[in-house]
Amino acid sequence: MKRNIAFSLCFATAVFVATTVLSAQQAPASGKNMTEEQVNDANLQLMRQDVRSDRKKLVAANLPLTETESTKFWPVYDRYIAETVKVNDSRLALLKEYANSIDTTTEQQADSLIKRWLALDQDDTQLRLKYVPEFEKVISHKKTAMFFQIDRRLSMLIDLQLASQVPLVKP
C-alpha cells in the first residue's frame, strides 16, 4: 500500500511537470514576457526538486539498508542523482526545443531530435554503468542490483508520463 501511494505521487508529479513544460512552451508568444518565462522556469525547477525528493523517499522505502550501509550509500546516491540531473537538463532542453517547433518541425529537425533523444538514453545507460561499481563498494552486489531495478522502474514511470504528454510529430 505504501509503495502504491508513493508511485502515485511520482506519477502525479511527472504528469504535472510534463504538462507545465508543454503548456508553457505552446502558449502564444505575444502573451509571454521574460518575467513569466523566468517564473515558469523557477516553478519547473521546484517541481523537479520535488520529483528528486519523492524518488529518494521511494528508494529509502524500498531498499533495505543497515545503518552502516545507509551512511555510505546516500553520498554515492546523491552524486549519482547530481549527474542524472545533468542528463535530464539536456532532456528538458530538447523537450522545450521540440515544444517550440511542434507545428513547424522539418525533416532535418525531426531527425536531429530523435538522434539526440536516443543519445540521451545512451547517456543514462552509461551513467548507470559508471555507478554500478561505485554502489558495489558501499553495498552488496544484490542490493546494488535492487537499487538499479528501483531506479530504472522510477525512470520508466517518469518517462512514460512525459512521453504520454508529448504530442507525436506530425508527418
pLDDT of residue 70: 97
Q: How far apart are alpha carbons 128 and 136 in whole angstroms?
A: 12
Task: Report the mean per-residue pLDDT for the chain.
Answer: 81
Q: How far apart are alpha carbons 11 and 162 in whole angstroms?
A: 10
pLDDT in tens, 30-54: 444 557 666 666 666 677 777 877 9
> Is residue 4 pLDDT above 60, yes or no?
no
Asked if residue 171 is part of any domain, the answer here is no
- All three cell numbers of 79: 552524486
66 DSSP 8-state letter: -
pLDDT of residue 115: 97
How big is the CA angle at 88 (ends 87 and 93), to the nearest 5 degrees? 105
Segments forming the whole domain that contains residue 112: 2-165
Tally of domains within the chain: 1
Q: How far apart are alpha carbons 28 and 13 in whole angstroms?
A: 25
49 burial type by CB count under 10 A (0-12 exposed, 13-18 middle, 19+ buried) = exposed
Judge contact between 16 and 47, C-beta under 8 A: yes
Asked if residue 55 is part of any domain, the answer here is yes
Least confident piece of the model among 23-27, 47-51, 74-78, 89-93: 23-27
pLDDT of residue 29: 44
Judge contact between 123 and 50, C-beta under 8 A: no
Number of helices (H), then strands (E), belonging to the chain: the values are: 5, 0
Q: How far apart are alpha carbons 32 and 40 in whole angstroms?
A: 11
Name the residue with higher pLDDT: 3 or 165.
165
Mean pLDDT of 103-110: 90
Asked if residue 161 is part of any domain, the answer here is yes
Q: How far apart are alpha carbons 26 and 102 in whole angstroms?
A: 8
pLDDT in tens, 123-150: 999 999 999 999 999 999 999 999 999 9
Count of CA atoms in the C-beta half-sphere (13 A) of 110: 10
> Is residue 15 pLDDT above 70, yes or no?
no
pLDDT of residue 171: 83
Q: Categorize the per-residue pLDDT at 165 as very low, low, confident or very high, splitting at 50, 70 and 90.
A: confident
The pTM is what?
0.74
- All three cell numbers of 35: 518575467
Place of cell 529518494: 56
pLDDT of residue 39: 64
User: What percent of the chain lies above the pLDDT cut of 70?
Assistant: 74
31 DSSP 8-state letter: G
- Residue positions counted in the chain: 171
Q: Categorize the per-residue pLDDT at 14 as very low, low, confident or very high, splitting at 50, 70 and 90.
A: low
